[in-house]
Each structure stands twice: as structure tokens, then as C-alpha cells.
């Protein structure tokens, strides 16, 4: 007995091809997503490395301040004149002209005003280039004791004693300290730029 065979319409093949295309597109999207995630993680790692390198700049700037005579660091006129200042330093950095103006980024301010005079350290093992600049937070460029300096200082302490509360405890004189703002710029891989600031009293 002969049985008539049904004609094959090929629908299963079409469905299989469609599913194959969908799975291929899904795999491509997943690979691209993983690549993007890896790229973001790498950029964050570069930025974090640049931020850590900023600590080196802060420590280097503090060491420079500790090795300098504070009374002789009185260079510069009111404004942005850095011609007679040591590299990386301004003695009257307490002015409004020594911070970015409204709408100006720190990087734009740095490149326009500080980059040429900043101290640049050798490139480190992570390919970060560290630069630092110190602003003495004084309105005037004179000596610390000059009337026109108007420095931001810690409160003066007339006298201080140790932990002992007994009668006749030796009193110690303590003078106020001047504040310095240290700004560190770190340029790393893939155009990564980070800024670190520290305020120190010396």
C-alpha cells in the first residue's frame, strides 16, 4: 500500500536561521558589554593610580616648605606675577585671582596660570607625571609679620602646659602657624588627569 508523502515547507529551517541570528546578535552584544566594562574598570584604575601619585606630590611639596626659610619666601607682587618667585611657589596666594573663576575648571586655570611655574617630578613607574604648586595663603607678598601680609593663620596660643595640672608647671609659648595650599596635578595614562589639594600649617 502506498502512502502519499507530505511536501516539506522548510519552515523549521527558517526558524532555525532566525534563532541563530538572534543568538549571534546576543553574543556580540555581550562581548561588547564586557569590553566596555573592562575599559571602564581600566580607566578607573588609571585614575585611582593618578590620585595615589598625588600623595607623592603633596609630600614633596611639604618637604620643600620644611627646607625653606619662611621669612625669605616673600616673592611676588599683588596679582599673578611669579617672575621673582621660586618654582612652584607664590607668597600671596590668598587672593581670589589664585582660584578658578566662575565656570572655569581647575585644569584650565592650572594650564593658564600655574603650569609654566609648577615643579614637575620625574615620571613614575606607572607613567604618571606629578606637578605641584604652593600658595601661601596671604593677601600680601611681604614677610609673615608685615602688616600688609594678612596671612591666614592658626590661632595664637599665649601659653600652654603639659598634661600635668600641678602648681608650678612650666608654661610654654606657642606661636601661630601660616596656612599653605598645595595643589598637585597628576597626568597619567590615556589622558587621565587628577587633582589633589592639601592645606598645611607650618
* Residue ranges per structural domain of the chain: 13-201
**Stronger pLDDT, 87 or 165, i.e. the higher one:** 87
pLDDT level of residue 62 (50, 70, 90 thresholds): very high
pLDDT at 41 over 70: no
CA distance 75 to 68: 13
Q: Where are the alpha helices (DSSP H) in 6-152?
A: 11-66, 106-109
What is the pLDDT at residue 78? 47
Least confident of 35-49, 122-136, 169-183: 35-49
CA distance 148 to 142: 7
**Stronger pLDDT, 169 or 130, i.e. the higher one:** 130
Average pLDDT over residues 9-21: 76
3-class SS of residue 164: coil
Asked whether 137 and 180 are in contact (CB, 8 A), the reply is: yes
pLDDT level of residue 10 (50, 70, 90 thresholds): low
**What are the two backbone dihedrals, phi and then psi, of residue 197, each rounded to the nearest 5 degrees?**
-125, 145
Model pTM score: 0.68
What is the pLDDT at residue 164? 55
The DSSP 8-state label assigned to residue 139 in this structure reads S
Average pLDDT over residues 99-128: 89
pLDDT digits (tens, 9 = 90+) for 143-186: 776 777 777 777 655 454 555 555 555 555 556 788 899 999 99
Asked whether 90 and 98 are in contact (CB, 8 A), the reply is: yes
Structural element, H or E, at residue 196? strand 193-201
3-class SS of residue 198: strand
Amino acid at each position: 500500500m502506498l502512502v502519499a508523502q507530505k511536501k516539506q515547507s522548510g519552515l523549521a529551517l527558517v526558524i532555525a536561521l532566525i534563532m541563530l541570528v538572534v543568538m549571534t546578535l546576543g553574543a556580540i552584544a555581550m562581548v561588547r558589554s564586557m569590553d566596555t566594562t573592562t575599559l571602564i574598570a581600566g580607566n578607573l584604575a588609571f585614575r585611582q593610580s593618578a590620585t595615589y601619585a598625588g600623595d607623592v606630590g603633596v609630600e614633596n611639596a611639604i618637604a620643600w616648605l620644611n627646607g625653606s626659610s619662611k621669612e625669605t619666601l616673600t616673592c611676588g607682587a599683588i596679582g599673578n606675577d611669579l617672575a621673582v618667585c621660586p618654582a612652584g611657589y607664590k607668597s600671596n596666594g590668598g587672593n581670589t585671582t589664585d582660584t578658578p573663576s566662575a565656570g572655569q575648571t581647575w585644569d584650565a586655570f592650572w594650564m593658564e596660570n600655574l603650569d609654566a611655574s609648577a615643579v614637575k617630578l620625574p615620571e613614575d613607574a606607572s607613567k604618571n607625571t606629578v606637578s605641584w604648586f604652593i600658595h601661601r595663603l596671604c593677601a600680601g607678598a611681604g614677610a609673615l609679620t608685615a602688616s600688609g601680609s594678612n596671612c591666614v593663620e592658626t590661632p595664637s596660643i599665649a601659653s600652654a602646659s603639659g598634661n600635668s595640672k600641678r602648681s608650678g608647671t612650666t608654661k610654654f609659648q606657642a606661636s601661630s602657624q601660616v596656612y599653605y595650599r598645595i595643589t598637585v596635578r597628576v597626568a597619567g595614562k590615556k589622558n587621565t588627569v587628577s587633582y589633589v589639594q592639601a592645606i598645611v600649617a607650618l
